[in-house]
């Protein structure tokens, strides 16, 4: 089945995503982060990625068409899906970096957060305490919102 893509086709499709990633990182994410929190952006991008990945399996069916323009339609569908996927990935990774930065105060804590095996007990317990604070404050805000 497959898409019958050559190495040049794959390189072309991925090279076209370079400007998409550039614009998503430098233009789109700053605009979105002014309007939404990092947690909301991360959750939204996770939902988008969960929807987009299974749609990639439909690409071979797009190429099986009765019309001669099926290759053009396949490329349009592919590039649209890749654009959505890469944009959601940029938003997801950047939001996660912001969330980690908000959870930690120093670079030692950030290193400990990502690689817990290198932590000393004091830093590790501080991060666990901060996680519990953020979690409990999130639950408290959630409870207040539901009570209103």
Residues 125 and 89 grouped into a single domain? no
* Phi, psi torsion values for 60, nearest 5 degrees: -60, -35
Domain count of the chain?
Answer: 2
Full-model pTM: 0.71
On the question of pLDDT at 118 being above 60, the answer is: no
Q: How far is CA 141 from CA 65, 104, 111, in A?
A: 52, 21, 29
Residues 44 and 73 grouped into a single domain? yes
Higher pLDDT, 105 or 68: 105
Residues 128 and 76 grouped into a single domain? no
37-83 per-position pLDDT tens digit: 998 999 999 999 999 999 988 887 766 655 555 778 888 889 999 99
Range of the domain at 85: 1-103
Residues 118 and 97 grouped into a single domain? no
Q: How far is CA 25 from CA 3, 31, 74, in A?
A: 29, 10, 27
Residues 111 and 123 grouped into a single domain? yes
On the question of pLDDT at 128 being above 70, the answer is: no
């Amino acid at each position: 089945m497959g898409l019958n893509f050559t190495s040049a086709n794959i390189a072309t499709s991925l090279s076209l995503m370079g400007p998409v990633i550039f614009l998503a990182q430098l233009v789109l994410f700053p605009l979105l982060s002014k309007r939404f929190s990092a947690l909301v952006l991360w959750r939204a991008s996770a939902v988008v990625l969960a929807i987009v990945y299974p749609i990639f399996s439909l690409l071979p069916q797009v190429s099986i068409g009765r019309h001669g323009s099926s290759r053009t339609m396949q490329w349009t569908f592919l590039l649209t899906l890749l654009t959505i996927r890469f944009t959601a990935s940029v938003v997801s990774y950047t939001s996660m970096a912001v969330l980690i930065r908000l959870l930690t105060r120093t670079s030692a804590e950030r290193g400990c957060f990502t690689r817990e095996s290198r932590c000393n007990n004091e830093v590790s317990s501080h991060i666990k305490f901060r996680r519990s604070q953020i979690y409990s404050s999130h639950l408290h805000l959630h409870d207040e919102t539901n009570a209103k």
